[in-house]
Amino acid sequence: MLKIGILEGSLRRASLSRAAAWAASNLLPDDAQAVALANPGTLPLFNQDLLDEGMPDAVAAFMSQVESVDALLIVTPEYNWSIPGGLKNAIDWLSRKTPSPLAHKPVSIWSVSPGLLGGARVHESLRQTLLSQDMIVMAKPEVQIAGAIGKLDVDAGAITNPETEAFLRAHLSSFTAFSNTWAAV
């Protein structure tokens, strides 16, 4: 069973991207399961002084969670054409452990936006950051959920657009196969 850690890019309660992530986790193939990772908002802002005083408990727990999964699915908004600060902070913390809990793990990036570009521009910057951690990025297809307000029901935690649901189901099948291929290397 492939364990896929879901890393949320948004901190807010009524998040579109979080709704997409958890609705989609019901679309995984039978040989994969979704594992919740701590939301980046639970972590302190990275500061080398904190690390020097001993890894904060919340960070240590988060690192263990990431170590325990086989692959990552990061579902995030785009902030100002780039990575939301909370998510970048979470990655910065993970990068301070040797070996990095991210290293050699397959990862897929999904962006979600009410806008028409679907947060397309976060992919390039996030992909670069993940490559710096030796992650194995599934580069194509890029998953961008544009016009997300019309495709998701946040209160129900559901995908309401059938084409979006079918696309995400197919993508999760491909990503599971991709991850299993790399796990065997």
CB atoms within 10 A of CB 49: 6
Out of 108, 113, 129, 144, which residue is the one contacting ligand FNR (CB under 6 A)? 113
Q: Does the protein bind ligand FNR through residue 13 (CB under 6 A)?
A: no
- For ligand FNR, the binding residues in 15-74 under the rule CB under 6 A are 15-18
Contact assessment for residue 138 and residue 171, using Cβ atoms and an 8 Å cutoff: no
Q: Does the protein bind ligand FNR through residue 83 (CB under 6 A)?
A: no
Q: Does the protein bind ligand FNR through residue 112 (CB under 6 A)?
A: yes
Nearest of 25, 19, 18 to residue 40 by alpha carbon: 18
Smallest gap from Cβ 20 to ligand FNR, in A, equals 8
Residue 15 DSSP SS3: coil
Q: Does the protein bind ligand FNR through residue 77 (CB under 6 A)?
A: yes
**How many residues in the shown chain lie near ligand FNR by CB under 6 A?**
17
Nearest of 153, 155, 110, 106 to residue 133 by alpha carbon: 106
Q: Does the protein bind ligand FNR through residue 10 (CB under 6 A)?
A: yes
Residue 67 DSSP SS3: helix
| Antiparallel, parallel or unpaired: β 136-137 and 106-112 | parallel
The interface region with ligand FNR, picked from 51-59, 79-87, 94-102, 161-169 by CB under 6 A, is: 79-87
Per CB under 6 A, residues contacting ligand FNR are 10, 12, 15-18, 77-81, 112-115, 117, 119
